[in-house]
Amino acid sequence: MTLTRLAEDERVRAAYPSVAYAASTISTPLLRNMGTIGGNLLLDTRCNYYDQSFEWRKSIDFCMKRDGDICWVAPSSPVCWAVNSSDEAPLMVALDAKLRFISPDGEREVSARELYGADGINYLTKRPDELLVDIHLPAVNGWRATYVKLRRRASFDFPVLGVAARVKTAADGTVEEATIVLGAVHPSPMIVKEAGAALVGRRLTDEAIAEAGEIAQHQARPLDNTDFLPHWRKQVVSTYVGRALRELR
């Protein structure tokens, strides 16, 4: 399933417009014609010290994600902080999608919430001999979802912050369930449970949205290994959470 097909599929656009929209924001039209939803979900983690030529990496004596022993972003860290820069991954986590993998040993279903690891080197629980063959999205049962993305060039960049939000409201607008997931600030999509919990039982008022945004901002830990300054990327988390929730409202 190429990203172009996913973005243009009428069934997806009708039932899961956020999934179609996120696909339409990935890379360029030419690459969306070749790249697939599976490829985007299994994307390698990214870091300014890793997404370089062999000679560039050799000039700094490499880093532990490949060929070296140290993390240049956080030198005392035992784990790699390269970021998950998939646009669809935060959404699949927010939607609680189920992924089916097949291998010579059989098949298994994995929740998107269990697929990603907190280490930029071991960033997937998928085994090398497994192929992703199906993605199962939950039935739309009164919830709505959206995705907003920060990047330098709106035409084709990777996200340096992505916010996926899923909300289910009662007839009077009271939030019954809310899930907020941050992308591109951590080696895995980050569910900000407290931000979602802060919305439950309330309407999506400006005050409730601001509170959820502040909680998400407090928990986001962008590091200095992608575009833009990390403290600014942290500062705008509440703005982007606010945009996502106001769109859902």
DSSP conformational letter for 116:
B
**Residue at 82: amino acid letter:** A
In the complex, the smallest distance separating the C-beta of residue 81 from ligand SF4, rounded to whole angstroms, is 4
Considering the complex, state which of residue 16 and residue 62 has its C-beta at the smaller distance from ligand SF4: 62
Q: Which two tokens stand for residue 207?
A: 């005050």
Give the Cα separation of 161 and 185 in Å (integer).
6
Q: What character string, x for contact with ligand SF4 (CB under 6 A) and - otherwise, covers 74-113?
A: ------xxx-------------------------------
Using CB under 6 A as the binding rule, whether residue 186 contacts ligand SF4 is answered as no
Q: Is 169 in the site for ligand SF4 (CB under 6 A)?
A: no
Question: Among 160, 173, 155, which Cα is nearest to 230's?
Answer: 160
Rounded to whole angstroms, the Cα distance separating 213 from 231 reads 16
CA–CA distance, 100 with 125 (Å, rounded to integer): 13
Q: Which is nearer to ligand SF4, 194 or 224 (CB)?
A: 224
Q: Which stretch binds ligand SF4 (CB under 6 A): 5-13, 62-70, 96-104, 133-141?
A: 62-70
DSSP label at 233? H
Q: How far is the CB of 234 from ligand SF4 (least distance, A)?
A: 17
The angle at the Cα of 36, spanning 66 to 188, to the nearest 5 degrees, equals 45
124 scored as a contact of ligand SF4 (CB under 6 A): no
Give contact residues for ligand SF4 (rule: CB under 6 A): 47, 49-50, 63-65, 71-73, 80-82, 120, 225
